[in-house]
Chain A
Amino acid sequence: MNIVACVKQVPDTEAQIKVKADGTGIEEGGIKWVMNPYDEYGVEEALKLKEKLGGEVTVVSVGPARAMETIRTALAMGADKGIHIDDAALNNADAFTVASALCAAVKSLSCDVVFCGQRAIDDDSGQVGAILAELLGVPQVTMATKMELADNVAKVTKSIEGAQVVMEVQLPCVITTTKGLNEPRYASLPGIMKAKKKPVDVKTGADFGVSAELKAQVVKVLPPPARPPGKVLKADDTPEGKAAELAKALREEAKVI
């Protein structure tokens, strides 16, 4: 079984995000970079499949030089090798371009299952996995919360509003992963040592015949709209008094009940 897990390096969820004064992006100074949390579920599921069925796990990442740390993290968790597509021209690429680069990398391997996080928590686009599936010409299941594999068929569960859908999907396929699927492991110390020696191929977009011809472009980044300061309700200084004051405010001021 050959498995690919796509990973992206993103700001830690705790990171303060400051918009550049000219609105062209965010200030990257001081940010702690981590593996996208949704990608961790993909790496974990890939490793579980490998442990059960044998085979090899390749991690693929599109990103600047620092993305190598995230590839090493996946290798330390247990993945076998990596492909790092490091190309300044692809740094602010759109989903279609990134998926095209990943598609070329995946095609350079022969692969049964590709995992992607359901979205990356930086641009929050949530498109790459499905575009990749389309470009590869394979089926997809997005936002998987459960997966079992037997005889080249995966049984996958995803949740939609108010229901769980159980599907059977033929391999090869792309699965996008979300919370609930598994508990990602931490890299062990021996894992971290071993990861240093595992092979990582560094490629450019040109190596894969991909150029950044943007179809979607973020033209301006803005700070979130300011929220007016809230009110702390204190009527009577009793729970009942405060509750009554709140109900009245929601009814008469906010008009939401």
Chain B
Amino acid sequence: MGNGVFFVAEQRDGALRKVSFELASTARKLADALGVEACGIICGSGVSGLAADLGKYGADKVFVVDNAALEPYTTSAHTQAVATVAKDNGAVILLLAASAQGKDLSARLVGKLATGMASDCTEVRIDGGKLVATRPMYSGKCFGEVVIAGSPQMASLRPNVFTAVESGKAGAVTSVNVAIEPGKVKVLEVVKEASGKVDVTEANVIVSGGRGMKDAAGFAVLEELAGVLGGAVGASRAAVDAGWRAQSDQVGQTGKVVSPNLYIACGISGAIQHLAGMSSSKYIVAVNKDAEAPIFARADYGIVDDLFKVVPALTAECKKLVG
């Protein structure tokens, strides 16, 4: 029965994450190319109300698994729910987010469904009736085109890369009961970071600082600029290892991979391991007093000067423009 393009919407604390809309619109595109339906899956407790929003971004149908055992998120419970819905409804393609939760869940599902997956994709398309996924490899030093022989064909999508398009249609909502066996992981605590703080993987704008910030206090100028632009503050490994910023802010090979619209690198030399985390940003700006710094080779716009003079001036200019 059925053969839709499925996607797993991600919600936290009863709100859909932005990447869920990116997934919905991408599933829509693939479904249109195949002439099938785009179907969303939402798992959680008390989440039925979220289904309508997915319709707006392209889902024909939304399957809601509402069960107290699905909150807080555990791998085992969500794997059971998604695998059941995908199998029972004939998913030919299954998309998830390459977010912290999506990476955990999608890889477990590959095992459970005994299939293959292209992870952290930056492009997906249909060719000859099959999914073809493009993804960075070797930290973005090259790209691979992947096809999946298993079923469903799975892909996880890098957040912030795919566009969410509002189409204004309401999807049909189906409630599904899945019996969830208890798992062997218990969530003891979810400790939230400063409220209102945008994670670097979800930010449209990132203002990042490196060793050139001199100390933890130096980051104040970046916080201010990020505040004006509605962005997040990132850091190089040098800044994190010096204890100036939290590990969760680190961008790069051993930190996070980010794709904002705008990445402003301040006092960052542009080591290959840093580039590994930010080269899929749409626009890159470098502020560095060393004209020879390798970051300039990757930057769309560069300023060779003292960041402590340039950044406050930039903040003032942006305030004028953004209002």
Q: Which of B185, B198, B229, B291 contacts A141 (CB 8 A)?
A: B185
Most chain B CB within a 10 A radius of its CB, from A127, A159, A228, A233: A127
The 8 A CB mask of A111-148 against B (1 = contact, 0 = none) is: 00000000001111111111111110011111101000
Q: Which residue in chain A gives the minimum CB-CB distance to B141?
A: A17
Asked if A232 lies at the interface with its beta carbon under 8 angstroms from chain B, I say yes
The 8 A CB mask of B63-84 against A (1 = contact, 0 = none) is: 0000000001001100100000
A17–B138 contact, CB under 8 A? yes
Asked if A188 lies at the interface with its beta carbon under 8 angstroms from chain B, I say no
CA distance A30 to B213 in the complex (A): 36
Most chain A CB within a 10 A radius of its CB, from B255, B284, B296, B313: B313
B313–A96 contact, CB under 8 A? no
Q: Which of B100, B201, B314 contacts A246 (CB 8 A)?
A: B314
A244–B197 contact, CB under 8 A? no
CA distance A232 to B302 in the complex (A): 5
Q: Which of A15, A124, A179 contacts B247 (CB 8 A)?
A: A179
Asked if B137 lies at the interface with its beta carbon under 8 angstroms from chain A, I say yes
The 8 A CB mask of B281-323 against A (1 = contact, 0 = none) is: 0111110000100001111111111100111011011101110
CA distance A243 to B114 in the complex (A): 53
Most chain B CB within a 10 A radius of its CB, from A135, A178, A214, A246: A246
Q: Which residue in chain A gives the minimum CB-CB distance to B295?
A: A230
The 8 A CB mask of B139-164 against A (1 = contact, 0 = none) is: 11111111111100000000000000
Asked if B217 lies at the interface with its beta carbon under 8 angstroms from chain A, I say no
Chain B contacts to A: CB under 8 angstroms = 17, 72, 75-76, 79, 99-101, 103-104, 106-108, 110-112, 114-120, 132, 134-150, 183-193, 197-199, 201-202, 204-205, 229, 247-248, 250, 253-255, 261-262, 272-273, 276, 279, 282-286, 291, 296-306, 309-311, 313-314, 316-318, 320-322
Q: Which of B111, B140, B142, B283 contacts A254 (CB 8 A)?
A: B283
B282–A256 contact, CB under 8 A? yes
The residues of B that contact A239 with a CB separation of less than 8 Å are: 303, 305-306, 309-310, 313
B146–A218 contact, CB under 8 A? yes
The residues of A that contact B137 with a CB separation of less than 8 Å are: 122-124, 218, 221
A250–B285 contact, CB under 8 A? yes
CA distance A243 to B298 in the complex (A): 19
Asked if A193 lies at the interface with its beta carbon under 8 angstroms from chain B, I say no
The residues of A that contact B201 with a CB separation of less than 8 Å are: 161
The residues of B that contact A124 with a CB separation of less than 8 Å are: 119-120, 135-139
Most chain B CB within a 10 A radius of its CB, from A17, A141, A161: A161
Asked if A240 lies at the interface with its beta carbon under 8 angstroms from chain B, I say yes
A216–B261 contact, CB under 8 A? no
The 8 A CB mask of A55-67 against B (1 = contact, 0 = none) is: 0000000000000
